[in-house]
A and B are shown apart, each in its own frame.
Chain A
């Protein structure tokens, strides 16, 4: 297992390195100069040249690339072209919004999807199972931003229970308001995510319920519920965990949309703003950190799968 983890970690770092190169190249393929976007309409050629010198875009691409890699090796993501603030500092402030948002939504989605999915599988031949499946189908069909707008309309504009958007100036130092402002965004992500998760849980569970080992367990005297808990859930969990990894990764990306709807100062809004302003260091920084999060999630999902399923562990040892 340890050897496997080491190998997996090396692959992770290698992927991150390749991602860094791809990001750098793709951004430089865009036409136009970020210095032009920086000084704006009405700038003189001297102003543009000064801006280029300041952000370093007057250097040859090779030099820019080596500087970038060198900085990266020292965990330095550079300074924003536009705000001149440290990219890493800004990302860490913004992660304090995006990470809790994504993780809470993910946990809530699990809390909804796992029991509902199991129930839908167990009752698959009853009307209640059918109703659950229909609900989950509807949930999958709903676009995230639309659900967000709907929740704002009802809970913020009509009922006035929760704020319609924004994040308090003092952040978590103002805990009541910080939590309030997270409720609707978390619900938005969790509802949509739980709908698709529930379908995976149901499918995986159905397959397990129909398998030979459950029949054997029942034949050996286990009760239906006992067999379900002791053998069913653990077996059904293996493919679900793989899907969970992917779902969690998409949550980080889906935050872009949700943060926009709710005006939350997270990674998503930083990325959007960076793209509008051609702020390469900010775009690179956000995408690199997001890539890292996605890779880490995949890594964790793999490890958990192996802990759940001894067959995978043996495979790895061989």
Chain B
């Protein structure tokens, strides 16, 4: 995948900050080393990672929260496939797979010589068990509905898994990247684990920290560190302080731009910005007047200066988006030019749509950052084209019952965090009620596409249509900011699906 301007920028920033201590470490080592290869890092160093997302339990089908993906995906558990930090889907535990011509039968061949942390070998039965854990009735997995198209799973021999689908699903490998392969002998994994990943769980102290150490019998490359510890914080300030005092080496996501100034101009730290998938948007209730009129929605999109909003909230960080699709989704195209900021044409379009004097609506605004500030900004901008916004502050729980379930709203603000979630626009029953048969067709049809290219083409098309239709008002993409001490490198920048692969993290002396 081609790097986005942002990713390149971040990479160069990361490089320029970290090269100096790394070089110093190399020269120091080569001067003192009498034999062996000089290394620019210390393989016996343990890495401490500060995070605000403590898992609630250790089972990702048991409502453990995003923290468990951060700690365990790719570290303790692996899937048949992996969603790489660049957004690609690559084989992990499978050596090979074939799809039948009708797209209904997937045959996976497992890699040889893989064992679980308990010592049991990985077999096809474990894979069957693991997928069924996700689709089980009491599973709270986010992938449960995407995998509901599975008709049956068979294990003809220990190394072969045959998955039969009710209808074709080109995204099956992608969806399987969310499925941990768990030893079928492990019954309850809410407080222990049995995966195949490069680390085994050492200890977890609820409310405090979770530590893991390299797994001796790992089938792949050994980690470049001697273990990682996730130290959990309930307060962002406390987390920043821990980094400042050297109690942690990395913090996984900076939530507020205010804190960044502590690190940006300090040579002891590296601030890197990756591409996030978290989109801030104003969702209209597309079912009701006047938002059922695409011209009105397009006019409102043109009335708001997103660049100014992003600058006010995040300064130099974050990305402008022209639709719901972030650069790490394969169907991304730059659509920022569609319905771009142009208040004059906004007024003309509102008049054309029959609202020469504007109109008024209520904006249901979740009570946590950044929504209240965004609401005020929108109120200001839309007033300039004669649209009167009244802000109604609601709690997350009210949002869930009033908007998500009852669809009882004019417009609302929300952050959508998922990767590849354009599919929501193909579901007319979703809370925002966008119903364009062409888009629904493209999105549902893309699952039956014969090739990835075809799927990508169809979803790119859908992406362009929702942008032209101004289905919602996409304000900006949150930045994904990771800050580390400058002697630590090799960590993932994008953190897709909240993953934080730790095995390549290196710490120089």
Is the pairing of A and B real? yes
**CB-based contact A157/B190 at 8 Å:** no
Contacts of A37 in B (CB 8 A): 397, 400
**CB-based contact A157/B244 at 8 Å:** yes
**CB-based contact A169/B209 at 8 Å:** yes
Contacts of B208 in A (CB 8 A): 166-169, 171, 265
A204 CB to closest chain B CB, in angstroms?
38
Kindly state whether residue B247 has any CB partner on chain A within 8 Å: yes
Interface residues on A, range: 35 or more
Contacts of A166 in B (CB 8 A): 208-209, 231, 233, 238, 242, 247
**CB-based contact B238/A261 at 8 Å:** yes
Kindly state whether residue A104 has any CB partner on chain B within 8 Å: no
**CB-based contact B144/A165 at 8 Å:** no
Chain A 259-277, CB-CB to B under 8 Å as 1, else 0, gives 0111101100110110001
**CB-based contact A164/B247 at 8 Å:** yes
Partner of A169, one of B56, B144, B211: B211
Q: Closest residue of chain A to B244, judged by CB? A: A157
Q: Closest residue of chain A to B190, judged by CB? A: A84
Chain B 98-141, CB-CB to A under 8 Å as 1, else 0, gives 00000000000000000000000000000000000000011010
Kindly state whether residue A163 has any CB partner on chain B within 8 Å: yes
Contacts of A84 in B (CB 8 A): 57, 62, 190
Chain B 241-260, CB-CB to A under 8 Å as 1, else 0, gives 11011010000000000000
Contacts of B238 in A (CB 8 A): 164-166, 261-263
**CB-based contact B241/A157 at 8 Å:** yes
Contacts of A266 in B (CB 8 A): 207
**CB-based contact A50/B231 at 8 Å:** no
Kindly state whether residue A128 has any CB partner on chain B within 8 Å: no
B394 CB to closest chain A CB, in angstroms?
12
A84 to B64, CA, bound (A): 10
Chain A 35-48, CB-CB to B under 8 Å as 1, else 0, gives 01111111110110
B376 CB to closest chain A CB, in angstroms?
24
- Count chain B residues whose beta carbon lies closer than 8 angstroms to a beta carbon of A: 40
A47 to B145, CA, bound (A): 10
**CB-based contact B245/A157 at 8 Å:** yes
Kindly state whether residue B369 has any CB partner on chain A within 8 Å: no
Chain B 208-223, CB-CB to A under 8 Å as 1, else 0, gives 1111000000000000
**CB-based contact B137/A31 at 8 Å:** no
Kindly state whether residue A119 has any CB partner on chain B within 8 Å: no
A233 to B339, CA, bound (A): 79
Kindly state whether residue A32 has any CB partner on chain B within 8 Å: yes
Kindly state whether residue B235 has any CB partner on chain A within 8 Å: yes
**CB-based contact A169/B205 at 8 Å:** yes
Contacts of B242 in A (CB 8 A): 163-166, 263
**CB-based contact B142/A93 at 8 Å:** no
Kindly state whether residue A12 has any CB partner on chain B within 8 Å: no
Kindly state whether residue A152 has any CB partner on chain B within 8 Å: yes
**CB-based contact B140/A163 at 8 Å:** no
Contacts of A272 in B (CB 8 A): 234
Kindly state whether residue B203 has any CB partner on chain A within 8 Å: yes
**CB-based contact A83/B207 at 8 Å:** no
Contacts of B138 in A (CB 8 A): 50, 54
Kindly state whether residue B404 has any CB partner on chain A within 8 Å: yes
Kindly state whether residue A82 has any CB partner on chain B within 8 Å: yes
**CB-based contact B233/A263 at 8 Å:** yes
Kindly state whether residue B35 has any CB partner on chain A within 8 Å: no
**CB-based contact A85/B206 at 8 Å:** yes
Contacts of B232 in A (CB 8 A): 263
> In the complex, given contacts A93-B206, A163-B247, A165-B242, what are 13 additional A-B residue pairs having Cβ atoms less than 8 angstroms apart?
A31-B398, A37-B397, A41-B400, A44-B145, A50-B138, A93-B207, A163-B245, A164-B242, A166-B208, A166-B209, A167-B205, A169-B210, A263-B232
B interface residues with partner A (beta carbon < 8 Å): 56-57, 62-63, 137-138, 140, 142, 144-145, 190-191, 203, 205-211, 229, 231-235, 237-239, 241-242, 244-245, 247, 397-398, 400-401, 404-405
6 A-B pairs closest in CB distance:
A265-B207, A164-B241, A165-B238, A169-B209, A263-B238, A265-B208
